[in-house]
Amino acid sequence: MTTFTKLSDQETPAISIHPSRRISKINPNIYAGFTEHMGRCIYGGIYDPGNPLSDENGFRKDVLEALKELNIPAVRYPGGNFMATYHWIDGVGPRDQRPARPELAWLGTETNHFGTDEFLKWCEILGTEPYFCLNFGTALGWVEYCNGKGNTYYANLRRKNGRQEPYNVKYWALGNETWGPWQVEQMTREAYAHKAYQWAKALKLLDPSLVLVLCGQDGTASWDYYTLKQCLLPAHSPLSTSTVPLIDMHSIHLYTSSPSHLPNVTAPLAAERAIEITSSLIDLARIENGVPPGQLRPTICFDEWNVWDPIRAEGSKGAEESYTLSDALAVAVYLNVFIRKSKDVGMACIAQSVNVISPLMTSKDGITKQTTWWPLYLFSRFMRGWTIGAHVACGTYEGETSPKWVRSVKDTPWLDVSATLGDDGYVNVAVVNIHEEKDLESKVDGATGEISVFTVTAGDVAASNMKGKQEVGVTESTWDAKGAYLFPKHSLTLLRWKAE
């Protein structure tokens, strides 16, 4: 949690860090990923058989090694919009017998050469938990195939396909963006809430250990309120035969972008307000529905987020963004938001993990780590443990925001800050100086000893790693914690020291 006091631009900024004020535990799942059958995410991304860079499974070894650097706790699959017309049964069994199908989300052909067993094997090699997004036509059979232990049809089919023990897939989403007109599975909120609740009931009867994620919109919509009100019911509701809560998480999505740096880098603050609103809607639904206080409160699953301009990186053409330093700083602000709101956020999935609006790009010869890779790397490496109290006093950006409503509901300070206390006893402070032209000298109260400093910046906000050379990366240095610290213009700085 970070509080803020607005100063004039003539006053000296100050950041105060309070390691003894532990606010909430950070769920490692905020560093989750997302792989969809879209563009080159799967084929030519994580799966590239015949390439000398791939292993015997067809998995790109360079991609696996790079993603291991991020210590990704969970990966969402196989969509996204792709999920609406996907039948998982097409992607299991002998590869030469799998049917090719028209793919309606991104207007391609799905070969089904990569499916459930391949993805789950890839997750095991990566060391991550799978998170499946399902449609309502094939859900029960898919759960039985993945998790069934008995002598039943789909559990036996899994065994026939070479996997004896259950995969024990824990996380399952009840549809994807079913409120959207681009969805083949689009529904009204009334139809969705009814269907989602009934399917949740059936799924938990089949496997009570599942973590089920309700499909929300962006956290600020009447869809979110309606579906939460209809589906967050007491576990012993007369409408339910289950003795466990049916809904464990509520998903929201947000993509932001702007061709102008300051609207671009402040846009992720919309995610912060969306989390705050969603958290209140969860409380309101529980209050109105008489949910007992002892029943586990759902958390927020921010399972699609990123910088994405769908006009410049069209989805049906693969959505391959070429990211800039400005975009990297926007990603850092998103990550600051998830740290600040760790009490409410149970998972966050950057969309996507490889090639498609991704920090990691492949070619037949290797990989490129885009500008947005580096904030992910620093946060996933250091920003774990506990969110701790911090206070920022500085000037603010006063111009237009994107979306426009951010201007009326959020402060937009020049220094965007979050702070953590790791289980190793180290304090970590992430500071994004969003100012395009001005270095900001700031007091850092609470910093002691020798400070390790990690900086992400470049000569200008348009710097990119997709021009044949790495213009944006991480530089390391130290600071003696004496006097003020100069945060460079348009930069991410991570300060790290041992707590006293």
AA letter at 152: T
Contact 12, 484 (CB under 8 A): yes
pLDDT on residue 237? 63
Q: Where are the beta strands (DSSP E) in 201-338?
A: 211-215, 249-256, 299-307
- Helix, strand, coil share (%) of the chain residues, nearest 5: 30, 25, 45
Q: How far apart are CA 1 and CA 300, in angstroms?
A: 17
> Which pLDDT score is estimated for 1?
82
Contact 47, 363 (CB under 8 A): no
Residue 240: per-residue pLDDT: 61
Q: How many H-runs (helices) and E-runs (strands) does the chain carry? A: 11, 22
Whether residue 79 contacts residue 42, with contact meaning beta carbons closer than 8 Å, is answered with: no
Maximal C-alpha separation, the chain: 73
Instruction: Give residue 467's pLDDT.
Output: 87
Q: Which element (helix H / strand E) includes 440?
A: strand 440-445
- 129 in Cβ contact with 74 (< 8 Å): yes
Q: Residue 64 belongs to what H/E stretch?
A: helix 61-68
Nearest to 91 by CA among 56, 54, 42: 42
Q: DSSP per residue over 152-176, as a string?
A: -HHHHHHHHTT--S-----EEEE-S
- Please tell me which residue in 36, 185, 304, 321 is annotated as part of the active site: 304
| Domain range summary for the chain, segments of one domain joined by + | 26-384
Active-site residue among 103, 177, 272, 321? 177
- Whole-angstrom Cα distance, residue 372 to residue 492? 11
DSSP lists the bridge partners of residue 17 as 390
Q: What local confidence, expressed as pLDDT, does residue 239 receive? A: 61
In three-state secondary structure terms, 337 is: helix
Question: Whole-model pTM?
Answer: 0.96
Query: Could you report the per-residue pLDDT of 232-245, keeping only the tens digit for each?
Result: 999 876 666 667 89
In angstroms, rounded to a whole number, what is the distance separating the alpha carbons of residues 122 and 60?
10
In angstroms, the Cα distances linking 362 to 66, 111, 304, 367, 415 are: 11, 20, 21, 4, 34
Superfamily of domain 26-384: Glycosidases (3.20.20.80)
Share of the chain above pLDDT 90, in %: 95
Q: Tell me, yes or no, if 304 is annotated catalytic.
A: yes
Give the helix ranges, DSSP H, for 373-484. 373-382, 406-409
- Pairwise CA distance, residues 47 & 380, whole Å: 24
Short-list 288, 208, 297, CA closest to 250: 297
Element (H, E) at 190: helix 189-206
- pLDDT for 392-401, tens place per residue? 999 999 999 9
Could you tell me whether strands 2-6 and 33-34 are parallel, antiparallel, or unpaired per DSSP bridges? Answer: unpaired
Residue 73, preceding peptide bond in cis (omega within 30° of 0): no
Instruction: Determine the Cα–Cα distance for residues 327 and 272; give it in Å rounded to an integer.
Output: 17
Cα-atom radius of gyration of the chain, to the nearest Å? 23
Q: What is the pLDDT along the chain (500 residues), one digit of tens a residue?
A: 899 999 999 999 999 999 999 999 999 999 999 999 999 999 999 999 999 999 999 999 999 999 999 999 999 999 999 999 999 999 999 999 999 999 998 989 999 999 999 999 999 999 999 999 999 988 999 999 999 999 999 999 999 999 999 999 999 999 999 999 999 989 999 999 999 999 999 999 999 999 999 999 999 999 999 999 999 999 876 666 667 899 999 999 999 999 999 999 999 999 999 999 999 999 999 999 999 999 999 999 999 999 999 999 999 899 999 999 999 999 999 999 999 999 999 999 999 999 999 999 999 999 999 999 999 999 999 999 999 999 999 999 999 999 999 999 999 999 999 999 999 999 999 999 999 999 999 999 999 999 999 999 999 999 999 988 999 999 999 999 999 999 999 999 999 999 98
**How many whole angstroms separate alpha carbon 451 and alpha carbon 427?**
10
Cis peptide before 49 (omega within 30 of 0): no
The pLDDT, as a whole number, for residue 88 is 97
Q: Is 118 a catalytic residue?
A: no
Residues written for the chain:
500
